Amino acid sequence: MKKTSWRLTLSWNYENESKWLNEMSDKGWQLEKPGLFRYTFVQGEPGKYRYDMEYLDANGEKRKEYFAFLEETGIEIVGQLGNWAYYRKPDNGKPFAIFSDTASKIAHYKRILLFLLIITPLEAWFMAKSWVEVYRGTHDASDMAMVILLTLAVVLLASGILHLLRRIATLSKNG
């Protein structure tokens, strides 16, 4: 039996997503295919797999090499969504995580942060441009909707950046 679930996860909250995937696993739903909003699951043995996710910076051949390394250690690459990789491993009673020390966890957060720091100014620029058009009166109703969407996106991205900065600060302090 298969099942489709809808969910929106913000990249900086990805830990909630892997937690959700583990909860689905406990209920007997194993991830088949991740999606931007749409996830498909296959029914199977409850709790069989533990899940984790990673934002990758390696591409092409380097990514293949990395995946081969992970597979050698018993990790299965369930799916990819852009630079996000979804992993799972049969449950052996120990928690499964792709990173085990503070330094590598911080490096991972910084990769996600870098992506946000690149796209946020771009979004902000589009937002500013749209607001200028609104003030000049050269807009119609659809432009107005766009301005509101862009503004929300910028606020959301900014909150994501703050969230990641806090996570990094906490990890650095507690070692």
Partner 1 sequence: MTEQSALTEAYYYILLALYHPLHGYGIMQKVETMSHGRVTLAAGTLYGALNSLMAKGWITALAAEENSRKKLYEITRDGRAVVIAEIARLQELYQNGLALTKGTNR
Whose tokens are 């996860």? That residue is: 9
Question: φ, ψ for residue 74 (rounded to 5)?
Answer: 95, 10
Closest alpha carbon to 154 in 133, 126, 132, 129: 126
Please report whether residue 77 would count as binding partner 1 according to CB under 8 A: no
Angle at 66 between CA 18 and CA 14, to 5 degrees: 20
Please report whether residue 15 would count as binding partner 1 according to CB under 8 A: no
Instruction: Choose, by CB under 8 A, the member of 37, 94, 135, 142 that binds partner 1.
Output: 94
To partner 1, the closest distance from the beta carbon of 72 in angstroms equals 5
Please report whether residue 68 would count as binding partner 1 according to CB under 8 A: yes
Please report whether residue 74 would count as binding partner 1 according to CB under 8 A: yes
To partner 1, the closest distance from the beta carbon of 128 in angstroms equals 38
Cα gap 45→122, rounded to integer Å: 45
Please report whether residue 14 would count as binding partner 1 according to CB under 8 A: no
Please report whether residue 54 would count as binding partner 1 according to CB under 8 A: yes
Cα gap 91→45, rounded to integer Å: 11
Binding site for partner 1 (CB under 8 A): 54, 65-66, 68-70, 72-75, 94, 97-101, 103-104, 107-108
